[in-house]
Chains A and B, each alone.
Chain A
């Protein structure tokens, strides 16, 4: 016997989500069947809303429901510094810190020819355009400490530095509150290389 079409379709939809297989999808589908109609409607509405109401900010590339986004519109922020990140969720992490008051630029990806991503496939052109149009004195590159993140950082610095703009990179090394004893050799090596005078 086969599932009735509506539930079979729902199972199929759940299975498209990462980390969900056939059994979990079936369980979720039957759970949905038992939910209150109002909750299910809300759920469906939010699913559609993330696709319909969210856009990429035309200035910084972050996800937003209004264009330009809240950060780009905010006139109280320091407009002379731009912090470059790989993903929108990195902006959230930085904002939680509450210590950075400049602007952002979201690349929405990282340079990785292996995955078919070259310089033209991520938001690099729009960053260069911004540097032309606005009075920016420093670009902080906050891509991840992976080989791809490093390659992206090196590439950006080659493009930006000739324009006379200061380019900086986040520090590598020990995480705060951690014991040296538990750090791996490579992290320690990076920490020693990046040591600073007290």
Chain B
């Protein structure tokens, strides 16, 4: 997959610019606060219709303008077609090949991307919540059925917790109704858990290969899902349902007292193990970084497997966070096959590691100058 060009109108600090990307490697170079990440973000927005940086989408619109628009031509499976995403005070409008797409799920997925930003480095060290979000986002991008089951699960969970609260307050239990809510919860949970296990199995295969290469064969990476229920990889959907129901039954009195559902996919975690040891607690800073890098690169391979083409890779200021060896591996893995956009404040460390000639875009205060440099 390739992004052939992009056209921004009133997007953040850009009034109107047009950039062509004939090359595979594109570098947005410039000092801080010049608009490098805005450019990268606009590509993310074109793909996902929202930003990785903010929830306030009015920020996309340039100060004083009525609307913001991002357009881009995509080359996918030998077809070239335009994508358009416009936002005004009235809302968002998305078009594929000039045809308006009213449903978000019909638009997202036309342009597949993998983003690697400094925040991702906390994937290993950070909270279980962050790791669940990572799972949900990545799995959701390739599997719409997962998104549906997850939203079902979340809404039933909310209903059930409200009902537990009501039981606590009124001291009256309608066992039939509580059972119905439990049954609905268990149904969607079984799909969510099953799909998560399947996805992690594939992600692990790819991540293992990458990790082995980066660590020169010294380290073996395994991904270990940590369910809050007594289940495992091999547990079938039917078994998950039965086990979950059993646990809910056992916990009922305590759950009413605490007015919340104790276990389920919303309480699970994911461990990254290197040579059987949890990287979060036993890994060095470097091992943690290698792990995140392996997982991110595995995502690229996994997407290729799911959609038949490599996604586009966005690297937001992460090269500076990696050491020479890891930079090498990253560039080696992507060069020539994955179209990549990266932001950086200096070329110093990366120049000699690139085999092909990148397109360099100098970003100064919302102005962009393009240069092809020979390395």
Seen from chain A, the residues whose Cβ lies within 8 Å of a Cβ on chain B are 111-114, 116, 118-119, 147-148, 150-151, 154-155, 158-159, 184-186, 189
Give the complex CA separation of A155 and B180 in angstroms: 6
Contacting residues, chain A, for B174 (C-beta < 8 A):
118-119
Smallest distance from the beta carbon of B160 to chain A beta carbons, Å? 8
Inter-chain contact B177/A111, CB cutoff 8 Å: yes
A154-B180, A158-B179 given. 11 additional CB < 8 A pairs?
A113-B165, A113-B181, A114-B159, A116-B166, A119-B177, A151-B180, A151-B181, A154-B183, A155-B176, A155-B180, A184-B105
Does B163 reach chain A (CB closer than 8 Å)? yes
Contacting residues, chain B, for A184 (C-beta < 8 A):
103, 105-106, 144
Q: Which of B169-186 contact A (CB under 8 A)?
A: 174, 176-177, 179-181, 183-184
Inter-chain contact B177/A118, CB cutoff 8 Å: yes
Q: Which of B90-106 contact A (CB under 8 A)?
A: 103, 105-106
Contacting residues, chain B, for A111 (C-beta < 8 A):
177
Interface string of B134-164 (1 = CB under 8 A from A): 0000000000110010001001101110110
Inter-chain contact A158/B162, CB cutoff 8 Å: no
Inter-chain contact A148/B159, CB cutoff 8 Å: yes
Inter-chain contact B148/A186, CB cutoff 8 Å: yes
Contacting residues, chain B, for A118 (C-beta < 8 A):
163, 166, 174, 177
Task: Enumerate 22 A-B pairs (CB-CB under 8 Å) in ascending A order.
Answer: A113-B159, A113-B160, A113-B165, A113-B181, A114-B162, A116-B166, A118-B163, A118-B166, A118-B174, A119-B174, A119-B177, A147-B155, A147-B156, A147-B184, A151-B177, A151-B181, A154-B183, A155-B180, A184-B103, A185-B144, A186-B145, A186-B148
B interface, over-half SS: helix
A154-B183, A186-B148, A189-B145 given; A114·B158 CB < 8 A = yes
Contacting residues, chain B, for A147 (C-beta < 8 A):
152, 155-156, 159, 184
Number of interface residues of B (CB under 8 A): 24
A interface, over-half SS: helix
User: Which of A112, A150, A158, A185 sits near B176, CB closer than 8 Å?
Assistant: A158
Chain B: CB-nearest residue to A186: B148
Give the complex CA separation of A155 and B144 in angstroms: 29
Give the complex CA separation of A155 and B183 in angstroms: 11
Smallest distance from the beta carbon of B123 to chain A beta carbons, Å? 28
User: Which of B163, B166, B180, B184 sits near A158, CB closer than 8 Å?
Assistant: B180
Interface string of B82-116 (1 = CB under 8 A from A): 00000000000000000000010110000000000
Give the complex CA separation of A184 and B107 in angstroms: 12
Contacting residues, chain A, for B159 (C-beta < 8 A):
112-114, 147-148, 151
Smallest distance from the beta carbon of B150 to chain A beta carbons, Å? 12
Contacting residues, chain A, for B166 (C-beta < 8 A):
113, 116, 118
Contacting residues, chain B, for A114 (C-beta < 8 A):
158-159, 162
Contacting residues, chain B, for A154 (C-beta < 8 A):
180, 183-184
Chain A: CB-nearest residue to B179: A158
Smallest distance from the beta carbon of A27 to chain B beta carbons, Å? 20
Give the complex CA separation of A4 and B144 in angstroms: 56
Interface string of B341-357 (1 = CB under 8 A from A): 00000000000000000
Give the complex CA separation of A118 and B174 in angstroms: 9
Chain B: CB-nearest residue to A112: B159
Inter-chain contact A113/B162, CB cutoff 8 Å: yes
Give the complex CA separation of A111 and B155 in angstroms: 13
Smallest distance from the beta carbon of A85 to chain B beta carbons, Å? 19
Contacting residues, chain B, for A150 (C-beta < 8 A):
184
Give the complex CA separation of A154 and B179 in angstroms: 10
User: What 4 A-B pairs are tightest by C-beta distance, nearest first?
Assistant: A113-B162, A113-B163, A154-B180, A186-B148
Chain B: CB-nearest residue to A152: B180
Smallest distance from the beta carbon of B122 to chain A beta carbons, Å? 32
Chain B: CB-nearest residue to A118: B166
Chain A: CB-nearest residue to B162: A113
Contacting residues, chain B, for A113 (C-beta < 8 A):
159-160, 162-163, 165-166, 181
